[in-house]
Structure 1
């Protein structure tokens, strides 16, 4: 055989072998169309069962808490008592003194201070003394001008600035407890808005902090600002209503004025018209006047538009 013919034969054999290999590969590929995830897992266990590492930029999806869904829905629809915050005084007095409670209407009553409530206010709105404190501090007072027995816890209802009913509480002198209960009842019936009515102790007895938060409050054993004389608040005979919108204003010798709280200076101009302003046409002013209170807005040396006080025998 010619060498050249032999080479041609081998080339043809090689081509046929290549065609056979390619055909076999195509057959295997077609068979793999039925290859399952289970087959893959069996063939590649290290990959199929590996735990994926979390992405550093991926945060877990928080669980959805639906426990308050109904409460939120009720608030949006307008419940009978929108404010659900538990009042401290109410919690401490509880039902301990119901036999000494005087009730005007549902949610409007006054009663003595329980021992728990007395302990809560001691050292805050009520001064710590040598008799009511275990401390040996030299700052303890030997006596105070009002006793626990002269004070009353007053529970009220009011409308807040969202126009929803809310609960509030005060401590006052027992001589004006009936007055305050009746006044706040009339304010409530007329949907008069008070942003909040909490014990001054919620602000650690800080009158300025209470005013800045527009909190209506009564008893706080403290002196008049800038003096050593006791305020009528110290005797539980004065109350401040929506104080942020009705600031306390004093006048300097140069004619300038000091507004307290300072960030309420926009409401010092009483010729302006704005919500929650107390003046002689205001229902709050009229009710307190009917009950024998005087208004700080009528004072000459200073103006205390939030302040009502009563002189008792």
Structure 2
């Protein structure tokens, strides 16, 4: 399935073990001990004299007797030595749910920490690579200390990146998850091993739908959301700046009518002039920006104008203001044009 298991074990397990001077036994297909040694010296700047060794084995070697050390037979000459790092690829071939575990294998898995190198004091470690932890034998899952789940980020189009999920024990559940992080492939690691049957195979996507970024519906949705968002912002900016519906700024609007003084009643002396109600403007509403409040008035053509609340007063429950020397209320103004409602 090419999820990056072998890559992660080579780069993060085997190479550090070799640099630490450990002996590594592995069946990873196409493992290159000489190239790994050169990589440790040239790239990782390790001491050539302190490097460990890599012992490649075949799958048949894993199933033979005396592969693992066994306390029940301590005198036996085994392929795996005390203190070794054992990295087994495709572990389901040997210890799957349907296979019967050899007693000596199970003893090693349970007691591998007892097999200590006589000089360094380092105990054996085991790294098993498998497509799914559920395929591993139940008895073996019970002794798993940490599970790493690797996944290529093909669905995001990130072919050079992969994700690692870290779980405690042998159960891949949300409650057992310890950490999750993303790593990037290094071209320098791939020559150190060759998966896909000795490096002769190539992985290609058989369905572009694996990449969610190639989904046209996704990009259509994103484009639609951007367009709606842009239009909404422009509408709000135009509204609060008095530019909605083609209206000009308040200082640029000239009244088309001239206030006429109300005629004096010749029979009444000293009565003050009362401005007439505007036949052009009416109160359309109000809004606030922060602590500032504004009143919006509209004319018969549907044009809007923003005024300060200071030019309006409350007369009972009615709000009355003075614009162009004429009184303006919610019921002032003339008949609405077809722009405002289409009724004459």
Q: TM-score, normalised by structure 2?
A: 0.19
Structure in which a larger fraction of residues adopt helix: 1
Structure in which a larger fraction of residues adopt strand: 2
Q: TM-score, normalised by structure 1?
A: 0.20
